[in-house]
Every structure is written in structure tokens, then in C-alpha cells.
């Protein structure tokens, strides 16, 4: 994550002095070729294909069917520029598409809506949450999605529904397709939260049984994950709220009820994130209290041992002095008597500590 931030800062500095709308990719460096896929459909027909150039998308521009153009990889500025020219997108929109550090937002233009979302994954390889920016251009009969990465997405179930001619999505417009994309992203948040919830439960068990330094590291890791997740999810509430109340003709009244449902899901995600944040913060306090209690227990034992040995040390010190005239040294049973006194003192102090419930 730190490497990603350093690359973004370096790239952002290259935009200094450039005019607004200049296309400079801000994000992770990628060497792969961008992928373009097209899904065109209505209630009676369905076409799905991968194309090699933006020019292949032009024939779908004026069709009465619904067209979903998906671009995996936004690091190639020429593809973004050609797609913008094809659909008459504002230069600032194209600039924002290539900036992967955008927060979730929505902007309304005369004939399309521009929406930015964060798609989250749980990377099993590094055992951490990773994010990918998704930009949506929603028009009257088309949706263009720009994905930061090319490794995959969370839209597999949506594609399967579109392939099914009996699906509701096949009978509705581009606004419903945009809702379906947003809904898929939000639903995936719940699976991320489930994994983090499992981690929190396991960490709580370790915290109660045997807190160690690694436990503290895991708590700090989860705390960063919660902040990271909150930053990606919190602005989405406003985005969906604006989308469900927009005056744009692109969003039909029949779709607004679905958007309100996504809004409810978003609120649930935010509430869960906040609950997890409170739990992790509480775990940090519990860890510090546990460490303090363990230290206090150790100090308590050491203090009791030192207290018991204080009178014994005093007696041993007295009879360890090299004076000639010490009457007790001549006693036949003096050695055993001193041992008896020491043992009696020790037992008496242990009984006293037990009654005081210090042991």
C-alpha cells in the first residue's frame, strides 16, 4: 500500500503546470494491455464480444438496445481519449477517470451521469483488503465502466443474469444496468466485512487467552483496514442518495426504488464498519489493560517474595556479623532455633497475606 501511495505522488507531481483535462494516469504502473468488452442486449437479443479497439464500439453508439462497454485498465490514455471523443465526454471527466485517487462521487452532465465507486477485494495472498476504482458513464441507452485493474471484477453474476433472456435486467434500461453494477459492488462489501469480522473474532480470542506483541500488530493492522474501508464506503451514501433523487431523465422512476434499496444496504455497511472500528479500538484498550494487569501480577508476586525475605534477611544479617561475644552462638540448639524462627515468620506472613486476599 505504501508503494502504491509513493507512485501516486510521483505521478501527481507530473501534472503540475498542465492544463485542466490533461490525461495523466495516477495510480499503479501497469504493463498489460487494456481489455474492452461489449455486451449489447434487449428483451429479445443478446450480444457479447471482446474487441481490440475503441472504433469497434462505434456501431453500438446509436442502437436502440442497451449497451454495456467495459474497459479493464485505465493506464492507456489513448483508449480513454478515444472513448471520450466517441461519446462526447467532458475532458475533466476523462482526467478524473485516470486518477485512481478519487473519492466516490457523482456528477451530472447534460446527457450522461459520471459516477466513481471503490470496488473492494480481499487479497488472500497478502491477507489484506485491496481496492480498485470503478468509473461509470451512464447514458440514455449505454453504460461505460472503466476499471482500474484487469484481473477481474465482481460483476460475474450480473453477466450471467444478462445472458438469461428471462432476466428482469434484459427488459429494463441502462439506468437499471447502472444500478445492478452499483449493487454488485455494495453487496461485495458484505463479504469483505464477513472476513474482517472473522479476523476480529479470532483476535478477540487471542486477546483474552494470550496477548502478545504480534496481537498488538494485528490490532493496528485491523484498525488501518477499518479506516481504509471507511474512506472507501462512507462517501458512497451521498452518491446513491443523490442518484436516487436526481432530476436527470436518465434515471427512470421505476429504478429509484432499487436505488433506495442499495442506499439501505450502504447504510448497513457503514454501520457495520463503525461497529468494527469501535470493537478494534476497544480491543486496543483491552490489550493495554491485559499487559498492565500481567505486569501488576508479576510485580505483586515479586513484592510478596521481597516482603517475606526482608525479616529473614535481617535475621541472617544479624547473625552473620563477626562479633566474638554473641551468646546465641554458644547455644547447642541455636542453629535450629533460628531456623524455626525464620520458618515461623514465613508461615505467619503467608497466612496474613492469604487472609488479606493478597495471594
Q: Is the pLDDT of residue 3 over 50?
A: no
- pLDDT > 60? residue 17: no
Residue in the block written with cell 493506464: 75
pLDDT at 38: 92
pLDDT tens across 203-243, in order?
A: 888 887 777 888 888 888 888 888 888 888 889 989 999 99
Share the mean pLDDT of the chain.
84
pTM > 0.85: yes or no: no
3-class state of residue 136 by DSSP: strand
The lowest-confidence range among 27-31, 80-84, 138-142, 190-194 is 27-31
Least confident segment among 96-110, 133-147, 252-266, 277-291: 277-291
Residue 134: strand pairing partners = 117, 147
- Per-residue pLDDT band for 11 (boundaries 50, 70, 90) equals low
With cut-offs at 50, 70 and 90, classify the pLDDT of residue 12.
low
Instruction: Give me the DSSP letters along 82-101.
Output: HHHHHHT--HHHHHHHTBTT
pLDDT tens-digit series, residues 293-335: 778 888 888 888 898 889 888 888 888 887 777 777 778 788 8
Closest-CA residue to 132 (of 113, 144, 116, 109): 116
Q: What is the DSSP string of 235-259?
A: HHHHHHHHHHH---TTS-HHHHHHH
Indicate the helix (H) or strand (E) that contains 132: strand 128-138
pLDDT score for 146: 92
pLDDT-derived band at 16, boundaries 50, 70, 90: low
> 99 in the Ramachandran plot: left (φ > 0), alpha (ψ -120 to 50) or beta?
beta
- In the predicted model, what is the mean pLDDT of residues 162-187? 90
- Provide mean pLDDT across the span 51-68: 86
Q: How many CB atoms lie within 10 A of CB 286?
A: 15
Amino acid at each position: 500500500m505504501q508503494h502504491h501511495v509513493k507512485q501516486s505522488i510521483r505521478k501527481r507531481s507530473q501534472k503540475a503546470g498542465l492544463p485542466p483535462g490533461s490525461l495523466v494516469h495516477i495510480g499503479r504502473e501497469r504493463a498489460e494491455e487494456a481489455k474492452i468488452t461489449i455486451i449489447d442486449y434487449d428483451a429479445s437479443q443478446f450480444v457479447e464480444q471482446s474487441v481490440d479497439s475503441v472504433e469497434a464500439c462505434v456501431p453500438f453508439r446509436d442502437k436502440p438496445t442497451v449497451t454495456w462497454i467495459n474497459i479493464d485498465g485505465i493506464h492507456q490514455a489513448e483508449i480513454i481519449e478515444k472513448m471520450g471523443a466517441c461519446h462526447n465526454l467532458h475532458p475533466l471527466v476523462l482526467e478524473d477517470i485516470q486518477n485512481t485517487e478519487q473519492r466516490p462521487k457523482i456528477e451530472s452532465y447534460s446527457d450522461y451521469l459520471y459516477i466513481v465507486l471503490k470496488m473492494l477485494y480481499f487479497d488472500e495472498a497478502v491477507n489484506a483488503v485491496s481496492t480498485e476504482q470503478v468509473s461509470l458513464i451512464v447514458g440514455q441507452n449505454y453504460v461505460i465502466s472503466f476499471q482500474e485493474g484487469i484481473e477481474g471484477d465482481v460483476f460475474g453474476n450480473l453477466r450471467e443474469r444478462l445472458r438469461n433472456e428471462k432476466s428482469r435486467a434484459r427488459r429494463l434500461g441502462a439506468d437499471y444496468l447502472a444500478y445492478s453494477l452499483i449493487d454488485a459492488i455494495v453487496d461485495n462489501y458484505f463479504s469483505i466485512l464477513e472476513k474482517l469480522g472473522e479476523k476480529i473474532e479470532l483476535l478477540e480470542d487471542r486477546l483474552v487467552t494470550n496477548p502478545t506483541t504480534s496481537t498488538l500488530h494485528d490490532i493496528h493492522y485491523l484498525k488501518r483496514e477499518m479506516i481504509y474501508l471507511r474512506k472507501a464506503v462512507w462517501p458512497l451514501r451521498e452518491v446513491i442518495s443523490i442518484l436516487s433523487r436526481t432530476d436527470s431523465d436518465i434515471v427512470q422512476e421505476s429504478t429509484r426504488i432499487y436505488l433506495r434499496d442499495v442506499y439501505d444496504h450502504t447504510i448497513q455497511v457503514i454501520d457495520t464498519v463503525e461497529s468494527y472500528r469501535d470493537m478494534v479500538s476497544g480491543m486496543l484498550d483491552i490489550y493495554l489493560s491485559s499487559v498492565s494487569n500481567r505486569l501488576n501480577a508479576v510485580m505483586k508476586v515479586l513484592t510478596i517474595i521481597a516482603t517475606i525475605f526482608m525479616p529473614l534477611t535481617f535475621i541472617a544479617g544479624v547473625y552473620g556479623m563477626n562479633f566474638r561475644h554473641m551468646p546465641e552462638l554458644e547455644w547447642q540448639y541455636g542453629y535450629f532455633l533460628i531456623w524455626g524462627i525464620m520458618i515461623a515468620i514465613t508461615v505467619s506472613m503467608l497466612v496474613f497475606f492469604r487472609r488479606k486476599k493478597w495471594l
